[in-house]
Amino acid sequence: MKIAFGQIRIISKDLTYNFNQMVEMIKKAKSENATMIVFPALTISGFAVEHSFLNSDWCKTVESFNDKIKHLADDILIVWGNLQEKNGKLVQTAYASYHQGYLMASLEKKVESSSRYFAEQRYFTNVEEVANTFEFQGKIIAVSFASEEKDIQCDYHIVLDQTPWTMKHEFKYNNYSVEHLLYVNACGMQTIGKQVWMLDGGSSYYHNGKKRSSCNDLFMPELNYSDSNIIPISDGKLLEALTKGIAYFDQQLFSFRPKWIVGLSGGLDSSVSVALLVKALGCERVIAYNLATNNNTSKTIENARLIAEALQIEYRQGSIQADVFATEETLKTYQYTADYPSLVHENIQARLRGHILSTFAAVENGLVINNGNKVEAALGYCTMYGDSVGAINLIGDLTKIQLFELSKEINHLYQKEVIPNNLLPIVKEYEISWGIRPSAELAKDQYDPMKWFYHDYLLEAILKEGVESILASYLDKSIYEKEIGKWLSYYGLNKATAFIEDLEWFLQNMERNQFKRIQAVPGIVVSDAIIGVDYPEAQGYSARSERYLKLKKEILDTL
């Protein structure tokens, strides 16, 4: 049985585009004498349509494509996922059709209660156990959805999916004992709220539990959406996922092909952002601006120039110091003297940068990129309406540690020093030496308050394990067996008082700055621990649990 995988790029709500991709894939499968072609779940609609699922008329339009698909099934079996209205309820369904539109099977999906990216229980009704097998050419074929993980007695088990990619996403084929397992997922980008989800395809064939082939060799590639040559993401390729995310976002939402505007400070975050943009869209559509004040060092200004030169992008260097002075003079006209807190002066610079970059974008018919990383977002280390502006954040789901590694990969890709080595720490036996220490450069000799490496691991531990688990592991010393524990001594946090003070500073900043994250720009999702999704936001301080207070007391009592 020759099987083709319809691993298409699905664009949410673009019903005609998705159907036309199916048509092209079916034609290609027939030309190669395929017996069967399998498409993902929710092939016509995509999953990221939210309120449209509540519109009965829209859903009927989506369902009407089933008849069109059935009539393509002349001498080829087509399996696909779509929705259907049943007794006034919306049901997610898998269909199988063969020979002049004969519908062989209609298999309904049980609703997930805890999907992290798609609240399907809000839109789809649950169903009773239904038959999910049919016979084709003397073989028993089962169809299910990836979340169901049913081990069914059959000859071929087809698993439909439409699940976003993260660095730890993996189809659990070990949950099935069938001889022939066919897993099909979609490609592309879909967005819900502020999350930009990437789908990597990853369709695979398993024989007796072992992966025999994947989308990169046996199966048909996805169809191109435009002139960009975009193919499914390879396994575990963070750089590839990020650049595809940029390309998809640009193509699907901004057909006017805007210029992308980057505030290039010469620091790590903006350097990685601009390199990702160039890899995704080419150098002609990226413009970098260095907006220096008297607090910016010659080293970072030179970095910015060298990065732009290495990437061959348009680069404009100037100073906004006159605008800073002008703003301070304006404050005087409102009877504010110069003895206001230094933070006010720092925020003036950051806010002016956001204003000026937005003005450049308006002149260039472009869009601004946001350069904040995950730890900065968690702590609110940004200025509202300043360095927090942008159409999308490319690196907001990445810690500084991940950015260090990504920088090395970018330099390897380009075979030259695109990201300056002076931005990358040298780590030896858990001690760090910096060429240029991370800094917002908003005041003289200012450095980031984050304890890099330690706070990166701390944030991930809070999101994945909970703060009580961190306290417990500190108390029983098991924290020293983990990577995070190896940084405690470096930062002097092996002392109980310092550890608790730092932890509570971190938690308080996370809670105090939720209002900033709620107003933050959309970002590409790559991790399995996302603030606002896996760590839901509810503004205000949270009372510490009794267990937290007990563990805190026990730690301090060890003094």
The rounded percent of the chain whose pLDDT value lies above 90 is 67
Q: State pLDDT tens for residues 77-104.
A: 999 999 988 888 898 889 999 876 666 7
The answer as to whether 91 is a domain residue is yes
Q: Which of 288, 268, 266 is closest to 278 using CA atoms?
A: 288
Burial of 559 (C-beta count, 10 Å sphere; 0-12/13-18/19+)? exposed
Write down which residue in 176, 211, 236 finishes a domain. 236
The answer on 260 and 220 residing in a single domain is no
Helices 400-414 and 238-253, interaxial angle, to 10°? Answer: 90
HEC string of 427-485 equals EECCEEECCCCCCCCCCCCCCCCCCCCHHHHHHHHHHHHCHHHHHHHHHCCHHHHCCHH
202, 235 Cβ separation under 8 angstroms: yes
Write down which residue in 236, 264, 284 finishes a domain. 236
Helix (H) or strand (E) holding 16: helix 15-31
Q: Which of 53, 72, 76 is closest to 2 using CA atoms?
A: 76
Q: State pLDDT tens for residues 303-359.
A: 999 999 999 999 999 999 999 999 999 999 999 987 888 899 999 999 999 999 999
The answer on 261 and 214 residing in a single domain is no
The answer on 258 and 180 residing in a single domain is no
The answer as to whether 244 is a domain residue is no
Mean pLDDT for the stretch of residues 296-302:
96
- Report CA 522 to chain centroid distance, whole Å: 10
The answer as to whether 559 is a domain residue is no
The answer on 124 and 63 residing in a single domain is yes
The answer on 296 and 164 residing in a single domain is no
Lowest mean pLDDT among 117-121, 256-260, 352-356: 117-121
Q: State pLDDT tens for residues 446-469.
A: 899 999 999 999 999 999 999 999
The answer as to whether 436 is a domain residue is yes
The mean pLDDT value of the chain amounts to 89
The answer on 20 and 148 residing in a single domain is yes
The answer as to whether 451 is a domain residue is yes
Q: What sign for the dihedral angle of Cα 186, 192, 196, 197?
A: negative
What's the rounded Cα separation, in Å, for the pair 477 and 467? 15
What's the rounded Cα separation, in Å, for the pair 180 and 85? 32
Tell me the CATH number at 21.
3.60.110.10
Looking at the structure of the chain, the number of domains it has is: 2
Q: Which of 124, 102, 107 is closest to 50 using CA atoms?
A: 124
Q: Tell me the pLDDT band of 69, cut-offs 50, 70 and 90.
A: very high
The answer on 74 and 187 residing in a single domain is yes
Mean pLDDT for the stretch of residues 253-273:
96
The answer on 202 and 62 residing in a single domain is yes
- Note the pLDDT of residue 217: 36
- Greatest mean pLDDT among 127-131, 214-218, 528-532 lies in 528-532
- Note the pLDDT of residue 226: 34
Q: State pLDDT tens for residues 386-410.
A: 999 999 999 999 999 999 999 999 9
The answer on 256 and 172 residing in a single domain is no
The answer on 301 and 219 residing in a single domain is no
- Report CA 268 to chain centroid distance, whole Å: 19
The answer on 230 and 257 residing in a single domain is no
The answer as to whether 408 is a domain residue is yes
The answer on 229 and 262 residing in a single domain is no
The residue range of the domain holding 464 is 249-554
Q: Is pLDDT at 213 greater than 80 in this prediction? A: no
Residues in the chain: 559
Tell me the CATH number at 324.
3.40.50.620
Q: Which of 1, 41, 35, 39 is closest to 22 using CA atoms?
A: 39
Q: Tell me the pLDDT band of 208, cut-offs 50, 70 and 90.
A: confident
Q: State pLDDT tens for residues 501-521.
A: 999 999 999 999 999 999 999
The answer as to whether 327 is a domain residue is yes
Q: Tell me the pLDDT band of 215, cut-offs 50, 70 and 90.
A: low
- Note the pLDDT of residue 209: 76
Write down which residue in 236, 259, 280 finishes a domain. 236
The answer as to whether 242 is a domain residue is no
Burial of 86 (C-beta count, 10 Å sphere; 0-12/13-18/19+)? middle
- Note the pLDDT of residue 413: 92
- Note the pLDDT of residue 112: 66
Q: Is pLDDT at 188 greater than 50 in this prediction? A: yes
